[in-house]
Structure 1
Amino acid sequence: MNSPIIALDFPTMEEAQGFLEQFQEPLFVKVGMELFYKEGSQAVRKLTESGHRVFLDLKLHDIPNTVERAMRSLAPLGIEMLNVHAAGGLEMMKAAKRGLEGSGTKLIAVTQLTSTDDEQMRREQLIDRPLPESVVHYAELAKEAGLDGVVCSVSEAQAIGEACGTGFIRLTPGIRPGNESHDQKRTATPAEALKAGATHIVVGRAVTQAADPAASYRSIARQWKGLEQ
């Protein structure tokens, strides 16, 4: 089972490294737009050189040629996972996959953001289908493009596993050990994610802003392994 992925949502690498120094072992971490746009690829290299596994969360969404060329630039970084937006379409996702050939980096696609709900999807995206149906459709499109999995909420993880196979990655953000939701609308606990069939979970503020981050991480990891509720 994969370790919980910790979102390094810090504005600088100095702050991210200060946080990581509280742990005795390398972590599986997520580097998002804030840190990457500030510090660039050097931040990713520092993390991988320190033994951390990296999910680079840039959600690329552009014309196929641009995305393929961007992936070729990112492929040498030695990261574990990258993502694109499934809404970019089949050809864009295929191009992204081509750009990573030979790198060993897994490629996953964002379906619908966990900050999106049914009403917002209908009003702003003009999608009249239920949100879970839209998410599963995007997952099936990602699989057709040859991707390794998707980002989804826990609510859709089981349906995606049934549609795309149990080996298809279902990475679920919005994980909270309690009932707080912050700015995400489709959230779950680690235990709920495990029961729903998620293959990876992403945890942010519940660890990075905890009074004792290492203790919070250990508790979440135990829940994710089914060792405590």
Structure 2
Amino acid sequence: MSAARSRLIVALDVPDGESALALAGRLAGHVGMLKIGLELFVAEGPGIVRELRRRHPELDVFLDLKLHDIPNTMAGAIRSASSLGVRFITVHAGSGIAHLRACVEQAGDSTGILAVTVLTSQDEQACREAGHTRGPAELVKIRAQAAAQAGCAGLVCSGQELESLADVAPGLFRVVPGIRPAGADVGDQKRVMTPANAIAAGATHLVVGRPIRSASDPAAAATGIVNEIALALPN
């Protein structure tokens, strides 16, 4: 079960450090990684990362900042963030190859740069409204190629694009948000997939937030998803 557990990332999308540490304590031993996003990081700063690492050294931390700026600024942010001992940091793949490469060069060997291809909250209409002439599937392929060329460790993508990325970026981690167990509320996500289907399609890690965070027993909810991952893993 440890292999399945290591693939589950839980999003600590809570408003303060006290809530985050309480949830982390309930999930320790049941998941492989914790994700800190913008809400929590803006509220608590780097201190919450250090405290999570101190209390739960067995859990990896994924810092989901989705950086998007000029190369020098992105590189400086990556340099600071990687010193916190995080496993992954996200940047927007739409920044371009030079930007992505600058981040990779600053991350070092222990921190992986994950390139966000297209947000799972964006569908065809949202892409058009943003001024893109290509739909999500085509944008994902283009940005995945850029991430691979820049040396990124992995991609953040919808489960619906996993199979198409097998040849585009075969050696990269494929981290999939928008994961919803069968029957769960999809919320503001547009391109969602169940845990088993995502693993079967080639996901290396799954990001799950509300289905675990809002459960009456988060540890039990996490264990249920880990069991589903385990059944979907190849023997």
TM interval, short-chain normalised = over 0.9
Map of 1:120 onto structure 2? 126
Aligned residue identity for 2:222: Y
Map of 1:56 onto structure 2? 63
Q: Following the alignment from structure 1 to structure 2, what is the Cα–Cα distance between the partners of residues 120 and 12? A: 30
How many residue pairs align between the two structures? Answer: 225
Map of 1:225 onto structure 2? 230
Structure 1 position 161, deviation (Å) = 1.9
Within the alignment, does 1:94 sit opposite 2:101 as a pair?
yes
Gap regions ≥5 residues in structure 2: none
Structure 1 position 24, deviation (Å) = 4.8
Structure 1 position 21, deviation (Å) = 2.4
Contact 2:30–2:222 (CA under 8 A) maintained in structure 1: no
Contact 2:65–2:89 (CA under 8 A) maintained in structure 1: yes
Q: Runs of at least 4 residues of structure 1 off by over 4 A?
A: none
Sort the Cα spacing of 1:31 and 1:24 in 2 relative to 1 into closer, same or farther, 3 A. Answer: closer
Using structure 2 for the length normalisation, give the TM-score: 0.91
> Among residues 48, 52, 61, which one is paired with 1:43 in the alignment?
48
Map of 2:9 onto structure 1? 5
Map of 2:139 onto structure 1? 134
Aligned residue identity for 1:152: C
**In angstroms, what is the RMSD of aligned CA positions?**
1.5
Q: Secondary structure at the match of 1:201?
A: strand
Within the alignment, does 1:105 sit opposite 2:111 as a pair?
yes
Contact 2:7–2:204 (CA under 8 A) maintained in structure 1: no
Sort the Cα spacing of 1:24 and 1:169 in 2 relative to 1 into closer, same or farther, 3 A. Answer: closer
Sort the Cα spacing of 1:46 and 1:188 in 2 relative to 1 into closer, same or farther, 3 A. Answer: same
Structure 1 position 3, deviation (Å) = 2.8
Map of 1:155 onto structure 2? 160
Contact 1:158–1:198 (CA under 8 A) maintained in structure 2: no
Contact 2:200–2:232 (CA under 8 A) maintained in structure 1: no
Structure 1 position 119, deviation (Å) = 1.6
Map of 2:217 onto structure 1? 212
Q: Following the alignment from structure 1 to structure 2, what is the Cα–Cα distance between the partners of residues 101 and 11? A: 30
Within the alignment, does 1:17 sit opposite 2:24 as a pair?
no
Gap regions ≥5 residues in structure 1: none
Q: Following the alignment from structure 2 to structure 1, what is the Cα–Cα distance between the partners of residues 168 and 103? A: 22
> Among residues 169, 178, 200, which one is paired with 1:174 in the alignment?
178
Using structure 1 for the length normalisation, give the TM-score: 0.94
